[in-house]
Amino acid sequence: MKKKFFAITLLLVLSFAACGRNSVDEEILIETPDELEAAEPESTPAATPEPEPEVITMIEIDPEAYSFEADSNGFSARGSGEITRTDEVSRAGEYSLLVTGRTASWNGISLDVTDISEPFGEYEFSLWVMPTEESGATTFQLSAEFVVRGNPSWHHFTGTLANVTAQPGEWTRMTGKLPFENFNNASVYIETNGLGASASFYIDDVTFRSIAEESVFDNMLPRLFEVYADYFDFGTAVVTRDLQDERADFIRHHFNTITVGNDMKPSSLQNTPGRFTWNAADEIAGFARENNMYLIGHTLVWHEQSPEWMNRRGMSREEAINNLESHIEEVVSRYAGQIIVWDVVNEAFTNSADLRNAENWRTVLRQTPWLEVIGDDYIEIAFRAAHTADPNAILIYNDFNLDEPGKREAVFHMVQELLENGVPIHGIGMQGHYNTGTRPANVEASILRFAELGIPVHITELDITVNAAQGHETLSEAHELQQALLYARLFRIFRENSDVIDRVTVWGLDDASSWRADRFPLAFNRNLSAKLSYYAILDPDAFLEEHDAS
């Protein structure tokens, strides 16, 4: 490994033999993306209705299941919604379901699919919808809810017909795709957008089916981590389902560093005071150890995915500090010698830093419970606690949109002050949640600015969305090239500045499993086949010479 993960390699090897505490009850966890305020969002084209196809029948489930000829077939009211099986109108057969009584956009009707779906599969949800005459034209969206240990998250199905505007008196087809996440319970539902919060509507001929694709991972492709071995370490973020079959082979082939994408966030490890759920995190740590890969911990302190008991408003400063320090001590010490880099504090700043006032960095800290209950020194307290728990770990501050000058300077001045005060901060994590409108020159300016602090930069959470492709089922050739060109320009910058960059980590394996799946953000398709972006990363100079007309 190049230069930097460093003198602790021997300690890492020796420590592996000592690890392996017993796990407590295994619980399924949900992967929730870090917050992002994307630079220069692109417009999303309006959906264009497709010609009406032949009548759809159920696939892989009882053909009569969702025709409503016999009963409501498992559909239930959602929120204030009321559902009625009616023969007033129908698309096929004699009955449909009428949804009324709605008082909010998400109210209405849902279907529990827990028993007919699996975590991390990909599914298609289709139906026909028609608003009542009284409701007028209404815009509908297909959505899903995943619940883990009582904690829900909500997701939109994607595709040109996953969000449509329907007219009274006309049946309109809807269909969308969605990679499912971890869940204890899963349901699919239809909601309304715009002014349709109280709209009533009919649905009929519903289908829900798996659309998993067989992997076509090519193990003859050049290994990305080997290509960049002389520059920096090359990693990806993983969840436990990535450690199986060809996905595991894919990780071994292209990466020498893995980040725990979700399973070490505070609510994942200690959702209940004093009760730690180690299974998923231990499984990922074991995979890294068995495959001689460097392991990155993400994250110890964050305003999201932190249980309320840790820092609820109104608790004393002393109690909050104790919760913070004890959590960090327990987690970091457990993985001492295995996790060599920790994202200690994540996203502590707002995205509205004024370049002219950046030196006053405290004025643009995000208003989180940690800040309100403890004060701005919660950041210092967290870094010192992590260093005490594992003096050999590399500790970094991690944030998004650091290519924006105001936010960059605010973070720069915070880290500069903390370093002057002896706080153990060993690197800056520049989250790379970019889109095709991102300016490479801004990214490079931030890398060089942070290098002035005398600590390395880690490019974390890298993905590049094609916002103009949102809602489309495939990525056009023009959009794929546009994305690949930005990957090439960024990796040329990373390579040219590798003396100050320790690591580059892409945020996920493939487009379908990405938290930004609706905008095709990664270098590999849903079946693990290489996109143009892979070749752009592989040799950015050659790619730009061949494709860049600017």
Give me the pLDDT at residue 550, please.
Answer: 63
Enumerate the active-site residues: 347, 399, 461
Give me the pLDDT at residue 211, please.
Answer: 82
Residues linked to residue 433 through DSSP beta bridges, in sequence order: 463
What kind of fold does domain 224-547 have according to CATH?
A: TIM Barrel (3.20.20)
Radius of gyration in angstroms for the set of CA atoms belonging to the chain, rounded to a whole number? 25
pLDDT tens by residue, the chain, 550 residues: 444 443 333 333 333 333 433 333 333 333 444 444 333 334 344 444 444 433 333 333 334 447 788 888 889 999 999 999 999 999 878 999 999 999 999 999 999 999 888 877 789 999 999 999 999 999 999 999 998 877 788 888 888 789 999 999 999 999 988 888 778 899 999 999 877 889 999 999 899 988 877 778 999 999 999 999 999 999 999 988 899 889 999 999 999 999 998 899 999 999 999 999 999 999 999 999 999 999 999 999 999 889 999 999 899 999 999 999 999 999 999 999 999 999 999 999 998 778 888 899 999 999 999 999 999 999 999 999 999 999 999 999 999 999 999 999 999 999 999 999 999 999 999 999 999 999 999 999 999 999 999 999 999 999 999 999 987 878 999 999 999 999 999 999 999 999 999 999 999 999 988 888 889 999 999 889 999 999 999 999 999 999 976 6
Q: What is the pLDDT of residues 327-338, one digit of tens each?
A: 999 999 999 999
Closest to 413 measured CA to CA, from 355, 466, 372, 461: 355
DSSP secondary-structure letter at 473?
Answer: S
Q: What is the pLDDT of residues 258-300, one digit of tens each?
A: 999 889 999 999 999 999 999 999 999 999 999 999 999 999 9
Q: What is the C-alpha separation between 506 and 536, in angstroms, rounded?
A: 14
* Other CB atoms within 10 Å distance of the CB of residue 318: 10
* Residue 241 φ then ψ, to 5°: -65, -20
Token output for 378: 């919660």
CATH architecture of 75-210: Sandwich (2.60)
Three-state DSSP state, 488: helix
Q: What is the C-alpha separation between 41 and 157, in angstroms, rounded?
A: 20
Q: What are the residue boundaries of the structural domains of the chain, listed by start?
A: 75-210, 224-547
Q: Would you say 350 and 384 are in contact if contact means Cβ atoms under 8 Å apart?
A: no
Q: What is the C-alpha separation between 147 and 145, in angstroms, rounded?
A: 7
Give me the pLDDT at residue 299, please.
Answer: 96
Q: What is the pLDDT of residues 119-133, one digit of tens each?
A: 777 899 999 999 999
* Residue 545 φ then ψ, to 5°: -65, -35
**Its pTM surpasses 0.75:** no
Q: Would you say 96 and 86 are in contact if contact means Cβ atoms under 8 Å apart?
A: yes
Exposed/middle/buried for 490, CB within 10 Å: 0-12, 13-18, 19+?
Answer: buried
Q: What is the DSSP string of 215-281?
A: ----TTSPPHHHHTTTT-EEEEEE-GGGGSHHHHHHHHHH-SEEEE-STTSHHHH-SBTTB---HHH
SS3 per residue for 430-448:
EEEEEECCCCHHHHHHHHH
Peptide bond into 368 cis (omega under 30): no
Amino acid at 490: L
Give me the pLDDT at residue 204, please.
Answer: 92
Beta strand 394-399 with 339-346 is parallel
